[in-house]
Amino acid sequence: MSDKDVLLQMGFDPARVEWAIKATGGRGLQPAMDHILENEGKPVPDLSSVSSSSASSGPGAESTGQAIDENDEDMEALKAVYGSAGAGAAAVADVEAKSIKCSVCGKIFKNTALANYHAEKSGHDQFEESTEEIKPLTEEEKKQKLAELREKMSEKRAVKAQQEARENLANETIRRKAGKDMNELREEIRAKEMKKEAEAKRREKVEDAKARAAIKAQIEADKRERAAKAAREKALREGKPLPGSSTPSTAAAPAVAAPKAASKDYAETRLQIRMASGGQPYTTTLPSDSTLRAVAEFLAGQTLAVDVETVTFAQHFPRKTFTRDDFSRTLRDLGLTPSAVLIAS
């Protein structure tokens, strides 16, 4: 059974077997097997471009013919000097070298090509001619060699499969880590966006509260202005003194009565509101006819920590705590004019 038949029985592609045999120069089963394993997965080239060292055609044939002619001439010369028996012995001496032996490891090779392949693989560089003849493999030896090659191929495939499994595991780990990092980044971006939205809503709520307080204050001012205008027009129609002007009877009134009357007629009340939890106080000026609820609405427009329905007010001097019923009473009725300091909690 030839080396080619052995490789074909192992299930290799015929074109790949032909390529391996030509590429190794027909040096034997092991070099062809190594070539197939090393070039596994590579495309088979055009075999017409691969030269075989075992080809017998071409210039080599001419050189072989010349060598035969030269050997014939040498034989004739030996016969002339030593006779027929001496020439035959000399010719036998020339063909006694039947193999090449590695002086380093002792391995024997059939031809120079195999010896060169061994030198490339092992790095050994000392060879000598040997008279030992390499016998061809028997059928049993070929079967054993085939089994060894199959086992070696299986081991190489197993090692390659393990390496691919490790690479796939490493790639999967990298992919999972990248996905985890991407999810964390998305969560962080989402949290920042939610925080921005909450801050924008809080600012919008504060601005709306301020706008409502300003509109309400403007409405109260308009009401006071209309009331004052109506009072002036009524006084002009009835020929009475204009509101706010001094009369002789008023000037002649006792001095002790003036402060009491003035304390009831303050049109505006200046308030300073302090938070029980501390912080910067809030100041505002409201009409004296405004209710305590208007003060709560003003404070709710300044800070989100205050709710109109739950806030309470107190006064340190004189010490007093206002109830929910007081929220409908005016600042004048509560005695907070012309100015007061309130504690909100």
pLDDT in tens, 177-191: 898 899 999 999 999
Residue 317 lies in a domain: yes
Tens digits of residue pLDDT in 208-254 = 888 888 888 888 888 888 888 888 888 888 877 776 554 444 443 44
- Close Cβ partners of 127 (under 8 Å, ≥ 6 residues apart): 100, 101, 102, 103, 115, 119
Contact 303, 234 (CB under 8 A): no
Q: Which of 135, 153, 183 is the last residue of a domain?
A: 135
Residue 125 lies in a domain: yes
> Domain holding 315: CATH number?
3.10.20.90
Residue 109 lies in a domain: yes
Q: How many domains, in total, are found in the chain? A: 3
pLDDT at 143: 85
Q: Which domain holds residue 108?
A: 99-135
Q: Which pTM does this prediction carry?
A: 0.29
Residue 336 lies in a domain: yes
Look over the chain and give the mean of its residue pLDDT values, rounded to a whole number. 78
Residue 181 lies in a domain: no
pLDDT at 261: 41
Residue 168 lies in a domain: no
Q: Which two tokens stand for residue 148?
A: 């060894």
Q: Which two tokens stand for residue 190?
A: 């989402």
Residue 65 lies in a domain: no
| Pairwise CA distance, residues 339 & 285, whole Å | 9
Residue 70 lies in a domain: no
